[in-house]
Amino acid sequence: MKDWLKLFEKISEYHWQQNVLPVWEKYENGKLPWQSVAIFLSTYAYERSGVNPNYAPTAEDIIQEGLKEIEENNHDLESSLWKFFCKKMKYGEDKGYGGLNYGRNPLSPYPSKTETKSDGKSLFARMKQEKIGNLIVDLQELTTLEAFSFLRSIRGIGPKISSFFLRDMSEKSNKKSTKDRELLQPIDVWIRRIIFKIRNDNWGAKSEYDNRYDKEIAEWIVEEAKKEEYNPERINMGMWYFGSQVCGKSKYKFDQIFRDFESAEQAWETYYDRIKRICSLPSRDEFGEAILHALKYGKNRGLYKDEKLNLEHKRKLELHRNQENQIFTQLSKHP
C-alpha cells in the first residue's frame, strides 16, 4: 500500500499546479471578500454531476462585474446578484442555457421559482447570518467541522463540494488540523474506483457510483496516510488526477492500468513523458505555433479529419495560452 500512496502523493503536484494554483493566484488567494467568493463559485460550488456547465463561469462573471454596481447603488447583495445571474444566463429569453435550478443553486435566494421571499439558504444569506465577511479568511478561523457544517448549510452544497473546497483551502494556507481530517477528503467516482481496486474491497457498495461508504473511504485514506506519514489531502488529489486524466472515461483502460502497481506506474510514466515532451519546447509560443502548423499542414489537413474538431482544438488552445507558461514551468520541476 505504501507504494500506491507514495505514487498518488507525487502525482498530486500536477493537479495542484494545473488546476488549483492558477485560480487561487488569479484572485490573490481570496485576500478580499469578493475574491474569496469568486474562487468558491468559479471552481467549487458547481462541481457536481449533471450541473449546467454555464453556471460556474456565469457566477464568476457576475462577482467581478456586478459587485461594483451593487455597492455604488447600495442594493441588496443576495437578490441583486441573483438578478445579475438570471440576466447573464438569459433566462426567459434563451432557453438554450437551460433552467436555473433554484433549489440547488447556491446563488438562489429562493427554494423554487414560485417563491418570492428568501429562505436564508443562499451563499450570501448564510454568510450574513454567520457574520462571514471573507469566505476563506473567516472559515480558516473555524474548526474543520464548523467550516464543513457551514458550507453544508448552503443551498446546493453537499459533502463532496464542502470537502473539496476545505481540502484546497487547508493546503493553500498550510494550516493542518489533526481532528476531523476525513472531512477534507472529497469522495467521487474516481476515488471510489481506485480505492476499490487497490484494497480489493468495496465495503459492500454496489458500484463506484454508490456513495453510502464515502465516510469509511475518507477515514481509511487518512489512517493509511498517517501510518506512512504521508499527506492524505495530497493523496486524494493524486487519486483524482490519475483517474480522471491518466485513465480517462474508459472503464476497460482503467481495469488494464490497475491490474497491479507496476501497470499503474508504467501508465503514469507514459503520461508524464507526454508532459515532458511539451515542456521541452523552448517556449509557449513555439508550442502554439507547432500545433497551429499541424492543424494547417499536417496529415488530413490537421490533427483531425473533421474540420470542426480542428477549429475546436484551435479554440481550446487559445483559451489555455494564458496558463501555459506557468503550468509548463512548474510541471517540469516535478518528475
The predicted pLDDT at position 217 comes to 96
Q: What is residue 301's predicted lDDT score, i.e. its pLDDT?
A: 41
pLDDT for position 117:
85
Residue 78 pLDDT: 87
> Nearest CA to 191 among 121, 228, 141, 241?
241
The confidence score (pLDDT) of residue 88 equals 85
Residue by residue, pLDDT tens for the chain (335 residues) are 999 999 999 999 999 999 999 999 999 999 988 899 999 999 999 999 889 899 999 999 888 876 665 555 555 788 888 988 988 887 654 444 557 888 899 999 998 888 888 889 999 999 999 999 999 999 999 999 999 999 999 999 999 999 999 999 999 997 777 789 999 999 999 999 999 999 988 888 888 999 999 999 999 999 999 999 999 999 999 999 999 999 988 889 999 999 999 999 999 999 998 888 877 665 555 555 555 555 454 444 444 444 555 555 555 555 555 454 455 455 545 54
Q: Exposed (0-12), middle (13-18) or buried (19+): which is 111, by Cβ within 10 Å?
A: middle
pLDDT at 75: 58
What string of DSSP letters covers 192-211?
A: HHHHHHHHT--TT-SSTT--
**pLDDT in the model for residue 94:** 47
Taking the CA of residue 73 as centre, how many other CA atoms within 13 Å lie in the half-sphere pointing to its CB?
10
Q: Cell 474543520 sits at which residue?
A: 144
For the chain, how far is it from start to end, CA to CA, in angstroms? 21
Cell of 107: 446563488
Burial of 227 (0-12, 13-18, 19+ CB in 10 A): exposed
Handedness of CA 152, 148, 55, 82 (dihedral sign): positive
**Using CA atoms, how far apart are residues 299 and 59, in angstroms rounded to an integer?**
41
Instruction: Say what the pLDDT of residue 303 is.
Output: 42
- Joined together, the cell numbers standing for residue 78 give 443576495
Given this model, what pLDDT does residue 91 score? 62
Within 10 angstroms of residue 267's Cβ, the number of other Cβ atoms is: 18
